A and B are shown apart, each in its own frame.
Chain A
Amino acid sequence: MKLLSKLTLFITLSKLLIVVLFVLLLPSLVGYVSFQYSNYYLQQQKQKVLSEIKHNGIDYYLQGDSAYASYTMLKEEYISILPAENNRVRDTIETSKRVVGEDTLTYRILTHELTGTHKNYILEIGKTTSTIGEYNNLLQRFTLYVLIGLIALSIVVDLIYTNILIRPLTKIVKTKLLNRKFPFKEPLSPIKTSTTDFQILDLSLIDLMEKIHEAFDKEREFTSNASHELMTPISILQSNVENLMMEEDISDEMQDKISAMMRTLNRLKKIVNSLLYISRIENDQFVKSDTVNVHELITEMMEELSDRLETKSIQFTNAVSKNVKIEHVNHDLFFQMLYNLVNNAIRYNKESGSINISDKHLPDNTYQLMIKDTGIGIKEEELATIFDRFKKSGKEKGEGFGLGLSIVKSITSFHGFTIEVSSEYGKGTVFTITVPAYLPV
């Protein structure tokens, strides 16, 4: 899952959790608040009543009666002053029932003992609990709406901000990591961001890729220069040996030695030539402007190799569709690639074996070429390294140089193809070249 999706999910879920928690807690919270508030309200009322009594004197209210009571029309509130009994009452606030008029109602009641001139009185101030509850519901509903509104707003703000925050990272992933092809030839520019973590990540990536590219360039340049420098001395040596060989009256033994020298020299020459060839491919010194007809190219190649096939009695099948054309390739390199693969297929084949080249179009418009042989196969542990330079799979008296397949590999990368190999030891090998639907020009 992408980081942005994860964050979005987390933000939304955590906010929802808060809403749920709040909704669960709200009744008891509101209940507590209104309870506290009604206590406070009763205290306030008591202060007012006491100051009124102090001002007017208690008799003003009693008017000769032994008790006083007053309530509002709807009986939400009442005040009563009753003579106190002997035992003294302390100030309390409690919930209890009272009969007011003809109704019995539940009140929140504050009780206070008044000290009169002759005797003591008890002052009661009451407020019906149902009025308290009404506020309660309204308050709850209102709070909930405001909360939901705020949460929704905060989710939107969070998501937008997260999106903006993460954008540089998405960009880094897109431009630096996805679709990047070794050896990272195109120059990279740093991404604009004020987040230092991303800056560090971005710069480190650029730095790393540049280092890889530089190392690759150096290696390539070295190979190219070294090969060039080697060409001249090899050329001189070869001419020397060839002239030596033509000398009259040299003994057979000498002739043998010269011939052996020539073979060694040729080996050296071939290595240098192959390395130079690879470095030229990697240096983009070939132009990809040809269009090849694969079927025709293979037929052309078979003519070149027909005598080898005959010598080993190998059955060759060109099952490639006749009208497939590949654009934006280099004809010579494409030929060399197939030539090397088929030459290997002949070389490592059995007497009277077979080689089959077939193709197929995949649903995503890519095109595959399969070169299949019935040869000696490749051991599983060697499959991973067969395209590497100078790695040779132990067979054939140590004379091979393993550069044929390296050349094939360079040619495929140069064109943007991929090559895969599968093999069953002792039974045969299949090389699969995949040509993407659109080739880079």
Chain B
Amino acid sequence: MKTLIIEDERSLAREIKLFLEKAFYLCDTAYNAVEAKMLMIDNEYDFILLDLGLPDKDGLELLNETKKMCPGASYIILTARGDLEDRIKGLDLGADDYLPKPFSLLELQSRMQAISRRKSGNNDSVMQLGDFSIDLNKRSVCFEEKEIELSRKEFDLLSYMILHKNRPLTRLQLSEHIWGNFSDDDYDSNFIDVHIKNIRKKMSAHAPVDWLQTLRGIGYKIKI
């Protein structure tokens, strides 16, 4: 997947690039609108991550102009402005998603993956996890054709951890994904434990779930 990061904060652009490259995205970075346009002329991108507060041009204007240049690309708006109007305008102009700063890189990747899945149809939505098969589109977990009932939040948690498999995930990162920016720190983190306990209970009735590891004092990890 080829990704263009348009972000004038160099250190943030660098971190996003570093993170996405580990998840096997190919990344280019542009620090302003002019650079971004040059890169878009020469390359075809699957994803364009667009900061609205660029030094030489308003991000929304750039989006409007470049939507025609890269019709196949999926746009995700990143912004510290966080105006609701910007969000509506951005989505109207054809952006696929909108992430207010500060955002978690895990969340960014999760949104990118959701967009890919939406665009590619049902093709790659089924994953194997130990003896279980998980369909991200149908939101179902099956053990040997038998469906295991998970609550909405439990499924969200499980799929988020599968996406970020082999990475330590803190309770905070998990609760932020489930409850958004207003998640309530320690209080919400405790509920993550409750959810994980339920997932373990429901799934281990069918097969061992030793792939779901607890990291003492930190959080959880799915190891495959």
Residues on A facing B (Cβ under 8 Å): 228, 231-232, 234-240, 242-243, 245-246, 255-256, 259, 262-263, 266-267, 269-270, 273-274, 276, 280, 285-286, 307-308, 311, 336, 343, 347, 399, 404
B102 to chain A, nearest CB (A): 4
Complex interface: chain B residues within 8 A of A240 (CB): 11, 15
With A239-B15, A262-B173, A270-B182 known, 15 other A-B pairs at CB within 8 A are A232-B80, A234-B102, A235-B9, A235-B80, A236-B11, A238-B102, A243-B18, A262-B172, A266-B176, A267-B185, A273-B181, A274-B182, A280-B82, A311-B194, A347-B184
A266 to chain B, nearest CB (A): 5
Complex interface: chain A residues within 8 A of B202 (CB): none
Q: Is the CB of A399 within 8 A of B101?
A: no
Q: Is the CB of A276 within 8 A of B82?
A: yes
Interface pairs (19), CB distance under 8 Å: A228-B81, A228-B82, A232-B12, A235-B12, A236-B12, A239-B15, A239-B16, A259-B170, A262-B173, A263-B170, A273-B181, A274-B182, A276-B82, A280-B83, A285-B84, A286-B84, A307-B153, A307-B195, A311-B194
When each residue 194-223 of chain B gets 1 if its CB lies under 8 Å from chain A and 0 otherwise, what string results?
Answer: 110000000000000000000101110000
CB contact between A347 and one of B9, B18, B153, B187 (< 8 Å): that residue: B187
When each residue 143-154 of chain B gets 1 if its CB lies under 8 Å from chain A and 0 otherwise, what string results?
Answer: 000000001010
Complex interface: chain A residues within 8 A of B138 (CB): none
Complex interface: chain B residues within 8 A of A280 (CB): 82-84
A252 to chain B, nearest CB (A): 8
Complex interface: chain A residues within 8 A of B194 (CB): 307, 311
Q: Is the CB of B12 within 8 A of A242?
A: no
A286 to chain B, nearest CB (A): 7
Q: Given A262-B170, A311-B194, verify A269-B102 contact (CB < 8 Å).
A: yes
Q: Is B167 an interface residue (CB 8 A)?
A: yes
Complex interface: chain A residues within 8 A of B81 (CB): 228
Q: How far is the CA of A267 from the CA of B102 in the complex (A)?
A: 12
Q: Is B85 an interface residue (CB 8 A)?
A: yes
B105 to chain A, nearest CB (A): 5
- Top 4 nearest A-B pairs (CB, nearest first) are A239-B15, A235-B102, A231-B80, A235-B101
Residues on B facing A (Cβ under 8 Å): 9, 11-12, 15-16, 18-19, 22, 80-85, 101-106, 151, 153, 167-168, 170, 172-173, 176, 181-187, 191, 194-195, 215, 217-219
Q: How far is the CA of A439 from the CA of B185 in the complex (A)?
A: 35
Complex interface: chain B residues within 8 A of A347 (CB): 184, 187
Q: How far is the CA of A272 from the CA of B89 in the complex (A)?
A: 24
Complex interface: chain A residues within 8 A of B195 (CB): 307
Complex interface: chain B residues within 8 A of A234 (CB): 101-102
Residue of B16, B84, B102, B183 with most partner-chain A CB within 10 A:
B102
Complex interface: chain A residues within 8 A of B85 (CB): 285
Q: Given A262-B172, A274-B182, verify A246-B167 contact (CB < 8 Å).
A: yes
Q: Is the CB of A239 within 8 A of B12?
A: yes
Q: Is the CB of B185 within 8 A of A270?
A: yes
B164 to chain A, nearest CB (A): 9
Q: How far is the CA of A273 from the CA of B179 in the complex (A)?
A: 14
Q: How far is the CA of A239 from the CA of B102 in the complex (A)?
A: 9
Complex interface: chain A residues within 8 A of B168 (CB): 245-246, 255
Complex interface: chain A residues within 8 A of B105 (CB): 238-239, 242-243
Q: Given A255-B168, A307-B151, A311-B191, verify A242-B19 contact (CB < 8 Å).
A: yes
Q: How far is the CA of A255 from the CA of B194 in the complex (A)?
A: 23
Complex interface: chain B residues within 8 A of A239 (CB): 12, 15-16, 19, 105
Q: Is the CB of B101 within 8 A of A256?
A: no
Q: How far is the CA of A276 from the CA of B153 in the complex (A)?
A: 27
Q: How far is the CA of A270 from the CA of B184 in the complex (A)?
A: 8
Q: How far is the CA of A216 from the CA of B70 in the complex (A)?
A: 45
Complex interface: chain B residues within 8 A of A238 (CB): 102-105
Complex interface: chain A residues within 8 A of B183 (CB): 270
Q: Is the CB of B106 within 8 A of A273?
A: no
B185 to chain A, nearest CB (A): 6
Q: Is the CB of A259 within 8 A of B217?
A: yes
Which chain B residue has the least Cβ–Cβ distance from A256? Answer: B217
Q: Is the CB of A270 within 8 A of B181?
A: yes
Q: How far is the CA of A133 from the CA of B217 in the complex (A)?
A: 117
CB contact between A399 and one of B173, B181, B185 (< 8 Å): that residue: B185
